[in-house]
Amino acid sequence: MDTKVRVTYIQSMLGIKINEVIVEKDPELAAKCGVSQTPATFLGNRLYQGIPDETVFMGLVEKKKRMSIRRSLRTGRGYLNTTDPAVGWATLSDCTVNGYSGLGFTRAHPDEVLADWQFNGQLYWFTKRSDAQRGSLDPNDLDRIIKIISGFVQISDPGMIHLTGLEYIYTRNGFSRMLELIQDINDIIMGENSLIFVSCAKDAWEPGEFRLMTSELKVLK
């Protein structure tokens, strides 16, 4: 794509100020942007430096998609994301830089999550390790999960929760207890100024199990 056309397209389609564009490897684009030194900025809270401007262009498109997800969400509701957990982390990052309090649950090590995503809030790690760091959470301690979420909702205005690791909770507790957890969380969220975004693989569940989950959570298209 021609540089001038690309700049115009970014401005018109993404509605951003042109100095948000990273142009580390394109002096011509930098000149057209009217910046004397090429900036480095966060796109979805991932720091991109020294990468081709075409990659940045696609990153800006993804940023726009995340913004549209955030704007389509409503507090007092639960959502089910069956695509990539990265969608949930990106949305959580986007929400927390736009006035939301953030709370995350992960089966992956927290360092993995925080290496890619930054957000203002607490991150809990589902693990059975007895030597685990602060923020670790036993997947069998469903009452504690409920207590954490309830406390978060009470002080958040607004708040977003991203829950991953549901498959791990399922293997440790069985489907019935896991579904009760979702139902209890939904009860906490309803009517409050917070929302929960659950990310999990659709093919991890039997069709009947998935239908029960979608009776509690709205599936994101």
What count of residues does the chain have? 221
pTM of the shown model = 0.70
- In whole angstroms, give the CA distance from residue 156 to residue 173: 29
How far apart, in whole angstroms, are the C-alpha atoms of residue 197 and residue 163? 6
User: What structural domains and CATH numbers belong to the chain?
Assistant: 3-64 (no CATH), 73-219 (3.40.50.300)
pLDDT of residue 200: 94
Distance of CA 64 to the CA centre of its chain: 14
User: HSE-up of 118 (CA within 13 Å, CB side)?
Assistant: 7
What residues are paired with 137 via a beta bridge? 126
Residues 192 and 170: their CA atoms lie apart, in Å, by 27
Of 77, 70, 48, 24, which Cα lies nearest the Cα of 191? 77
Residue-level pLDDT at 72: 76
Q: What pLDDT digit, counting tens, does each position of 82-109 carry?
A: 988 888 898 898 888 888 999 999 999 9
Which positions ≥6 away from 145 have C-beta within 8 Å? 105, 137, 181
pLDDT in tens, 132-180: 676 899 999 999 999 999 999 999 989 999 999 999 999 999 999 999 9
List all residues 6 or more positions away from 71 whose beta carbon is below 8 Å from its beta carbon: none
